[in-house]
Structure 1
């Protein structure tokens, strides 16, 4: 049996440093609550967290370091000073100027946030003093928690269902909140209203990582040992029994194994070793231990994922779901998958563990603070795009309509068969071009740097001519797409003529159908009146065959 505590969902997984796979792109669109935001708003997001009983609350930061919240606002967990729900993102002005280092939340929900300066702020549900401000009043606005933490820099936070942990830069753990099973680690079962340092076996230890299950707590120390305390009704402490533990106790079964990180689900625990091995223990009613069955385990049990080493584990106390990522970039999941049970690690098509919780977990919440870190590194494609028409690095310039376009010989040879031969023995650094207009030729050269074209439809006809001349078939297709998007009654005949001239059969058919569908207006345009005789003859013949002139 899993613990009798009602299943108030809320993410409580530890925050971790963003991995390389999540640096360049933060895709929050997989979480339903963000479908309420506009595309412009989503583009500005740099950190995000989804929480609540149904994934119906969210907090995010923007490129301007502003913090916004939206959702149902249960227990004032949005920190806005009221309990009104909002589908429009509202700025959290009380934290203006603060930068978020890490964030976690409990089932109430309550929120615990640490800034890059090491300060701690809490708000939301507080019936069990889980906000650490000495009261049991719900916190409608963020409260700075300084008691016993005033001279400390907090670097990591974790929340259980109704208790909170923080880790300081000097390796100390402080806890507060609900303590019915000893999850605060004080040695008693009395609730803890303010931060209190967790001592006992941790007194002289340097803690490097913390995590919380619903009603238990975990800490990894710098020697690779794991210490646990709190509720163990499902064996989630890994001590071989189901008895609660009111003070930290070392997981002896991991003797000789150096653990790097720990992650907690609702009632199960995962650890990742230095060698890239995963061990699991605790509740297993959905196969969340990945052992191939649904039997609970009170001792650490190895999880076989694949031969590649594991570099990341993921779980959060709102769910019975587990995930892991390998060094080769493969992401596996097991446990509760919506209404299904997955009892062995299953290879997904995802590239990050976050997507497992967005798409498979119940509720769809984030297991950590999603983050995009500033990254000035440019990909090869981005670097080439930046160098187009750059006189500082170019070794070739085209003179078109009296204006220069700057390029690089080696890139043109690589990207275009025409230039490979025409520039082979050409030592000139200026090439005059009179066959095509400046906008058309510039668009062609830019395409060689970017794989895209940026021209209005009427100019794209000229580029279609160039693409035909240079036998650039992909460019020819792009031109046809651009022309299709810009067709109208006034230019339909001109575009049809161009399609015939440049043997663009797909475009010709498209333009013809457009003319037939708008025949009355098209036949009244100047383009139709000035139509080439042979083209007009063919057009009328083809139109007749499709019944365009029938009453």
Structure 2
């Protein structure tokens, strides 16, 4: 069945409210240490293993029921899985897959932005400004000059050579891109003038939208199902295409085949535009929202369900709004305020919310995951680069840094660079021995690996030593009365015990009065008694310790036949 039939396309005049939708909640949490995108609550991702989920850095769930997904890993590899309607996964066939399939042509490309249509078809731009398309193509929405479905991502170069694309947008069956020099190019289905060419003939390849935009610089674009929007650098908004619900904001319901400025926004500087199925939201430079178009679910946020053909102010508490969100496949609206509060209105799981409603979400993406029908993503969801270091990470980074250190320890002829104030804060021993005029401190009591591990522990709260060296660190921890460090040393020794070093570790435990470790080592020796008694360590065992060992082993029945 062709999912892009014209009978479906004209559904922009809003279908009756659905009776419900399954809840799909997205938690997009930036974990500074792992830099991981948490997509685990989207049902489609339940098909992926936990190991695969941990690698995801960008993702977009799309399709008529949210049953397709494309994602990018930390290594810039691109994978897709799901129903694969019209070949929209780009895997080279139309077979559905529950196993992620790699899209080799996109791997390493660094995806900057992505959008999708209703067919569905997919349009993306790389950080280099290249455009790739694939999927449904009955109306030439892939821009390759044909109407054959695209089973693999192919670069769109016609009329875009030497152009760097910085933003992409898709309507139901048309496509639009914005270049770095402020030009807009469109292609695809054009029954209502949505490509802005002045006619209603479909456009098989990208062509620049001129007319009123000829000498103007565009900074933002968006598509409704069958309409298009562009925001200029001076804050003006130009619109074209289908207008049956007043979604162009021109005060009428007639279609517009070429770009036309919204006169009602005169004197208002718009920064961003977002399009729903048949409604439009804009955000001004003063943090105010205006809305217009279809409103049968209350998606305009005006308190009623009456369509509006003119821009109408939307009140979101008293806070400044910094983001508006909508998706051409849904009747849901969302906004985020400067204080981090997220509001939603419109279709909410089949119900109508006619005024902005405060949610418990932290981002607008969650609104569409939970409330919209279908539960798709309204944008490519990404982990934002986070170069911020926590206090702990900063301290760890500065260990043994000669550029910032103010004292150095000389151990076995090698220097270890540290900071007096940190040593005094972290260790009672150093508070009494460190003086302000100390620049070099010689240390002869412990080996270089042991003392370096101790100083590094003060910066990191962890140790990195083989079990044999951990014995020396255990000695140091005992001398300096560092009880937590003693426990870490004992853990390290337990994890590294083997038949060859078991007696040496047992001797150390006895020497440093580490009773728990002593018992652990003793039990290990008993469990491996035959091999342990044949080791060099057993042959060189201290006489008193040997007597104690044999006596204790006898008591636990180690020598019974």
Contact 2:276 2:332 in 1 (8 A): yes
Q: What is the distance in 2 between the residues matched to 1:476 and 1:295?
A: 72
* 2:170 is the counterpart of 1:162: no
User: Partner residue of 1:545?
Assistant: none
Q: Match for 1:25 among 35, 43, 50?
A: 35
Q: Match for 1:366 among 357, 377, 381?
A: 377
Q: Match for 2:223 among 212, 220, 238?
A: 212
Contact 1:333 1:348 in 2 (8 A): no
* Structure 1 residues 137 and 389, CA gap change in structure 2 (3 angstroms): same
Range 335-344 or range 254-263, more displaced: 335-344
* 2:250 is the counterpart of 1:245: no
**TM-score computed with the length of structure 1 as normaliser:** 0.75
* Structure 1 residues 164 and 455, CA gap change in structure 2 (3 angstroms): same
Q: Match for 1:445 among 448, 455, 462?
A: 455
- Aligned pair count? 517
* 2:443 is the counterpart of 1:432: yes
| Aligned-residue RMSD, C-alpha | 4.8
User: Partner residue of 1:60?
Assistant: 71
* Structure 1 residues 207 and 195, CA gap change in structure 2 (3 angstroms): same
Structure 2: stretches of 5+ with no match in the other structure: 1-10, 19-29, 521-525, 533-544, 557-561
**Displacement of 1:123:** 1.0
Q: Match for 1:126 among 123, 126, 137?
A: 137
1:68-120 deviations in Å (ceiling 9; x for gaps): 32332221112222112233333323345644332211111101122344333
**Displacement of 1:327:** 3.5
Q: Match for 1:91 among 98, 102, 112?
A: 102
- Find the residue that maps to 2:115 and give its secondary structure: strand
User: Partner residue of 1:11?
Assistant: none
* Structure 1 residues 97 and 400, CA gap change in structure 2 (3 angstroms): closer
Q: What is the distance in 2 between the residues matched to 1:325 and 1:104?
A: 21
Contact 2:37 2:57 in 1 (8 A): no
Q: What is the distance in 2 between the residues matched to 1:460 and 1:242?
A: 79
- Find the residue that maps to 1:167 and give its secondary structure: strand
Q: What is the distance in 2 between the residues matched to 1:316 and 1:477?
A: 55
User: Partner residue of 1:547?
Assistant: none
- Find the residue that maps to 1:29 and give its secondary structure: coil
User: Partner residue of 1:325?
Assistant: 336
- Find the residue that maps to 1:195 and give its secondary structure: strand
Contact 1:28 1:34 in 2 (8 A): no
**TM-score computed with the length of structure 2 as normaliser:** 0.74
Structure 1: stretches of 5+ with no match in the other structure: 9-19, 513-519, 541-551
**Displacement of 1:139:** 1.1
Contact 1:56 1:72 in 2 (8 A): yes
User: Partner residue of 2:294?
Assistant: 283
1:436-461 deviations in Å (ceiling 9; x for gaps): 88777555533432344556899989
User: Partner residue of 2:8?
Assistant: none
- Find the residue that maps to 1:33 and give its secondary structure: helix
1:222-257 deviations in Å (ceiling 9; x for gaps): 221111222333332222344333332222221100
User: Partner residue of 2:360?
Assistant: 348
**Displacement of 1:479:** 8.1
1:348-393 deviations in Å (ceiling 9; x for gaps): 342x433444455444433222345667665554332122234564
* 2:407 is the counterpart of 1:419: no
* Structure 1 residues 461 and 165, CA gap change in structure 2 (3 angstroms): same
Q: What is the distance in 1 between the residues matched to 2:461 and 2:168?
A: 45
Which is greater in Rg?
Answer: 2
**Displacement of 1:273:** 1.0
* 2:326 is the counterpart of 1:315: yes
- Find the residue that maps to 2:283 and give its secondary structure: strand
User: Partner residue of 1:178?
Assistant: 189
* Structure 1 residues 465 and 286, CA gap change in structure 2 (3 angstroms): farther
Contact 2:341 2:358 in 1 (8 A): no
Range 126-135 or range 65-74, more displaced: 65-74
- Find the residue that maps to 1:27 and give its secondary structure: coil
User: Partner residue of 1:70?
Assistant: 81
**Displacement of 1:215:** 2.0
Contact 1:398 1:405 in 2 (8 A): yes
Q: What is the distance in 2 between the residues matched to 1:479 and 1:341?
A: 61
* Structure 1 residues 503 and 246, CA gap change in structure 2 (3 angstroms): farther
Q: What is the distance in 2 between the residues matched to 1:129 and 1:429?
A: 74
1:186-228 deviations in Å (ceiling 9; x for gaps): 3343333332333333233222211011222111112211112
